[in-house]
Amino acid sequence: MSGQQEQLHGTLMADIPPVERPRERLVRLGTGALSTAELIAIIMGTGVKGNSALSLAEQLIRASGGLRKLLDADVEELRQVSGVGPTKAIALLAAIELGRRVVASASDLPAKISSPQDAAAYLMEKLRFLPKEHFVTLHLDTKHQVVGEEVVSVGSLNASIAHPREIFRTALKRNAAAIVCAHNHPSGDPSPSPEDLAVTERIMAAGQILGIEVLDHIIFGDKRYVSLRERGLIPVV
């Protein structure tokens, strides 16, 4: 390590038994054995004078209010922690985005949506950590297999943003027989708002006219979701 030796909680890294260092522990035990702080420390690479990489990682987690909020941080927010420069911040954000894309790619294979649970499993990891509301539509064929997916809008959900013409435009092009609508609540609470219910009514009315069944509108929070069909707000056809 160039310059000064990195310290870990006040101890020189060179004095820590090799098998107990984060990188060596990862190789020996796998990523699942490491704490979040240890993983972040490995991504950042090194610490700074008076602060080990692990200490910086722990400070980042505390300053962000936990891992959930750290995932929404930007470069400037990360740099508020002393010792975290642009290089470390960019490396961490790149790793977070790569993780999001890996999770998203797991849903790339065709899936059949037979229940709200199927739709929730398909979309949960894509939506639960987004810092803004995203309204997403799944396009399904006659066997309810996913043939398309579209982000209709980004921002606070209202009737003008999630307009039926935007929701059904691509569904018609893909000859979708049915759709599942979904959006996230960045607050983490998936309870439907009056606006959510009003938008759902408009979508259902448009679907009836166009002959495209609206199977559900699912609202996602943090590890939780609410299916309006399960709530009895979307009738079973």
Which pLDDT belongs to residue 211? 95
Of 35-39, 80-84, 86-90, 156-160, the one with minimum mean pLDDT is 156-160
Report the DSSP beta bridge partners of residue 39.
none
Last residue of a domain, one of 62, 83, 104: 104
Which pLDDT belongs to residue 161? 62
In angstroms, the CA 146 to CA 139 distance is: 6
Please report whether residue 80 resides in a domain.
yes
**pLDDT (average), residues 8-30:** 68
Return the top range by mean pLDDT from 94-108, 122-136, 152-166.
122-136
Q: What is the CATH number of the domain that holds 146?
A: 3.40.140.10
Q: Is it the case that residue 8 has pLDDT exceeding 70?
A: no
Can you say whether the dihedral through the CA atoms of 157, 160, 161, 164 is positive or negative? positive
Please indicate, yes or no, whether residues 61 and 135 belong to a single structural domain of this protein: no
CA-to-CA separations, 33 to 27, 95, 175, 183, in angstroms, rounded: 10, 18, 47, 33
Does the pTM surpass 0.75? The reply is no
Q: Is it the case that residue 11 has pLDDT exceeding 90?
A: no
Which pLDDT belongs to residue 111? 80
In angstroms, the CA 44 to CA 41 distance is: 5
Please report whether residue 233 resides in a domain.
no
Please indicate, yes or no, whether residues 220 and 115 belong to a single structural domain of this protein: yes
Which pLDDT belongs to residue 39? 92
Percentage of the chain exceeding pLDDT 70: 85
Which pLDDT belongs to residue 67? 80
Would you place residue 104 in the very low, low, confident or very high pLDDT band (cuts 50, 70, 90)? low
Q: What is the CATH number of the domain that holds 46?
A: 1.10.150
Structure token pair of residue 167: 């929701």
CB neighbour class for 144 (10 Å; exposed up to 12, middle 13-18, buried from 19):
buried
171-193 pLDDT tens trace? 998 899 999 999 999 888 999 99
Which pLDDT belongs to residue 130? 83
Which pLDDT belongs to residue 6? 41
Please report whether residue 1 resides in a domain.
no
Which pLDDT belongs to residue 5? 40
Please indicate, yes or no, whether residues 148 and 222 belong to a single structural domain of this protein: yes
Which pLDDT belongs to residue 108? 53
Which pLDDT belongs to residue 53? 84
